[in-house]
Amino acid sequence: SQQGEEDPQALSIQEGENATMNCSYKTSINNLQWYRQNSGRGLVHLILIRSNEREKHSGRLRVTLDTSKKSSSLLITASRAADTASYFCATDARGYSTLTFGKGTMLLVSP
């Protein structure tokens, strides 16, 4: 079953704009991760945030985590056409060593 639910399902922006994607989950987690997938290819790990962290940055990526609301957001600043992809959040439930994925947000960045 899906643990995470991304919002929005699809997002279309212009190059240079910021893109924000949200993820909600249902159970307690050890950490939350964001992945990118280009055109049905493999998943690329973007960033991991632990349950005791509230915010994390990596290059143009900023992730926040609110465990009280069971939600996370991914911000991509100054988007580029190459950022066009599907983005998935994935949670690791406490005590397990597998990932539960949301259904993803499709991001389209137009030149």
Binding footprint of other proteins on the chain (CB under 8 A) = 1-2, 30-31, 33, 35, 40-45, 48, 50, 88, 90, 92, 94-104
CA–CA separation, 42 vs 39, rounded Å?
Answer: 9
> In the complex with other proteins, which residue's Cβ is closer, 16 or 50?
50
CA dihedral 98→99→100→106, nearest 10 degrees, is -160
- Min dist. Cβ of residue 99 to other proteins (A): 6
> In the complex with other proteins, which residue's Cβ is closer, 1 or 68?
1
CA–CA separation, 58 vs 66, rounded Å?
Answer: 18
- Min dist. Cβ of residue 91 to other proteins (A): 9
CA torsion through residues 108, 104, 90, 43, sign: negative
> In the complex with other proteins, which residue's Cβ is closer, 96 or 110?
96
- Min dist. Cβ of residue 107 to other proteins (A): 16
- Min dist. Cβ of residue 71 to other proteins (A): 18
CA–CA separation, 107 vs 30, rounded Å?
Answer: 27
> In the complex with other proteins, which residue's Cβ is closer, 44 or 81?
44
